[in-house]
Amino acid sequence: MSSRSLFSLPLLALALGSFVVGSSEFIIMGLLPEVAADLRVSLADAGLLVSAYAMGVVIGAPLLGPLLGRLPRRRALLWLMSAYTLGNLGCALAPDYNWLISMRMLTAMSHAGFFGCATLLASELAPPHRKASAMALVISGLTIANVLGVPLGAWLGQATSWRMTFFAVSAFGLLALLAQTLWLPSIPLAPRSQGGAWSGILRRPVLHALSVCCLSSIALFSVFTYISPLLRDIGGFSPSHSNAALLIFGIGLTLGNLLGGRMADKGFRYALPLAFGCSMLCLLGLYLFMHVAPLVLATLFVWGMASFAISTPLQLLLVEQAGESASLAATLSHAAFNLGNAGGAYFGGLWLSQQMGLDHLPLLGGGLLLLSLLVCLSLPRLRATRERFERQ
C-alpha cells in the first residue's frame, strides 16, 4: 500500500470501528448528570461507570490477548466488534445502576483486543515509513468520537434519554461490523516463536512504556471524567455550551493524534516531554481562568492535542520493544491506558469526596502530569523511526 492509498477502505473500516468503541467509552462523561439523576445515584457513583469500563479493559486484555494472537486479525476483529455491539445494546436496556455498571465492564473486555488487533493490522497494511501514521489513522476514529460522538451523544441523551445514546452506538456498531466484513483483508499469521505470548512483555523497556501509558491516562482522566460538571458548575457553561466545549476538545484530540503519528514517523525524540509539559500548562490555565470562557475553550483545544500526541509513539515503541509479543503488547497498551482511566476517575472522585473542591481538580491532574513527565524521560527512542530519520 503506497502513501497515497493510506486512506484505504480497510483502514476506513478499522477507523469506523474505533469510532464506535471511542464513542461508547467516552460518551458517558457527557451524560454523568443525566445518568446519575435517572438511576438515583450520586455523581461520584456515576463516575464509577468510567472506572468499571476501564477495569473491563484491564481484565479483558490479558485474558483475550494470548488468544487473539493465535487468530487471524480479520476474524478476531469481527468477533470483537460483534461482542461490543451487543454489549452496548445491553447498556441501553439496563434496568438499574448495577446492571449498567456490569454491562459496561463486560462490553469493555473486548476494547483492548479490538484496538490491539486493529492497530497491528493497520501497521501491516502500511509501507514501512508510514506505519505510525497508519496506526494513528485508525486511532483517529477514537478521537473523532470525541469530536462528533461524545457531544452529539450528549445532546441526544439530554434531549431524549441517555438510553437512546447507547441505542445509537449499537446501530453504528452494526455499520462498522458490516464495513469490516466487506473490506478487511485476510492476512496469514506470522510463524510463532517458542518463547510464549508473554516472552517479550516482561522486558524492562516494555514495562517502562506501559507504566507511562498508565500514568498519562491517570492524569488525563482525573480531570476529564468530571469535565462536564467542571464546565457547568465552575465555568458557568450551559449544557449546550458544555457540549460545544467538548467538541473543541475532541478536535484537539484528533489533530494531536495525527500529529503524534507524524512525529513518530519522523523520529522526533522530544514528543512525549513536550506533550506532557503542554498538558501541565493547560491544566494550570483551566485552574486560573475557568471563568473566562474564550480562554477555557482555547485551553481545552491545546490540552486535547497534547493529551493524544503521546498515544501512537508509545504504542509503536511497545510493538518494537516487545518483538514477537507485539500482538499482546498492543493489546496491553490499551489495558494500561484504561487502567489509568480507572485510576484517574477514582482519584478524581476521591478528591471530590474529600471535599477538596471541584474547582481545584485541575491541580490534581497537573501534579500527576509532572510525575508522568519525570517517568517518561528515560524511555528508549523508536528504533525504526530513528534509523529513518538519520538517513534523511
Q: Compute φ and ψ for 115, nearest 5 degrees.
A: -65, -35
Burial of 293 (0-12, 13-18, 19+ CB in 10 A): middle
pLDDT of residue 86: 93
pLDDT, position 194 = 45
User: The whole model's pTM is what?
Assistant: 0.74
Q: Is 3 among the domain residues?
A: no
The answer to the question of residue 195 being in a domain is no
The closest of 151, 145, 23 to 91, measured between CA atoms, is 23
Q: What gap in Å lies between CA 328 and CA 333, rounded to an integer?
A: 9
- Domain extent for 243: 10-184+200-391
181 vs 301: CA distance, rounded Å: 35
DSSP state of 185: P
Report the C-alpha gap between 155 and 130 in whole angstroms: 37
Q: 3-class DSSP state for residue 274? A: helix
As to burial, measured by CB atoms within 10 angstroms (0-12 exposed, 13-18 middle, 19+ buried), residue 390 is exposed
Q: Please count the structural domains in the chain.
A: 1
Q: Cα 327 vs. chain centroid, distance in angstroms?
A: 18
Helix 311-322 × helix 204-224 angle, to 10°: 160
Helices (H), 267-325: 271-289, 293-308, 311-322
pLDDT value at residue 84: 92
194 within a domain of the structure (yes/no): no
Please provide the DSSP assignment of 99-122 as one string: HHHHHHHHHHTTHHHHHHHHHHHH
Longest dimension (CA), the chain: 61
Which one, of 119, 116, 114, 112, lies nearest residue 134 by Cα? 119
Cα 52-56-60 angle, rounded to 5 deg? 170
CB contact at 8 A, 67 and 109: no
Q: How far is CA 154 from CA 18, 170, 274, in A?
A: 19, 15, 32
The answer to the question of residue 146 being in a domain is: yes
User: Is the CB of residue 146 less than 8 Å from the CB of residue 249?
Assistant: yes
User: Is 192 a member of any domain?
Assistant: no
Looking up residue 270, the CATH number of its domain turns out to be 1.20.1250.20
Q: How many helices (H) and strands (E) does the chain have?
A: 18, 0
Cα angle for residues 201, 203, 208 (degrees, 5° grid): 90
Q: Are the CB atoms for 106 and 59 separated by under 8 Å? A: no
- Cβ atoms of 53 and 104 within 8 Å: the answer is yes
List the grid coordinates of 321: 520493544
Does the residue 39 lie in any domain? yes
Closest CA to 118 of 146, 86, 84, 152: 84
Q: Which residue has the cell 483492548?
A: 112
- Does residue 287 lie in a domain region? yes
Q: In which residue are the cell numbers 469506523 written?
A: 16
With a cut of 70, which residues of the chain have pLDDT below it?
1-7, 189-199, 267-268, 382-392
- Beta carbons within 10 angstroms of residue 198's beta carbon: 15
Whether 4 is in a domain gets the answer no
Angle between helices 73-92 and 162-183 in degrees, nearest 10: 160
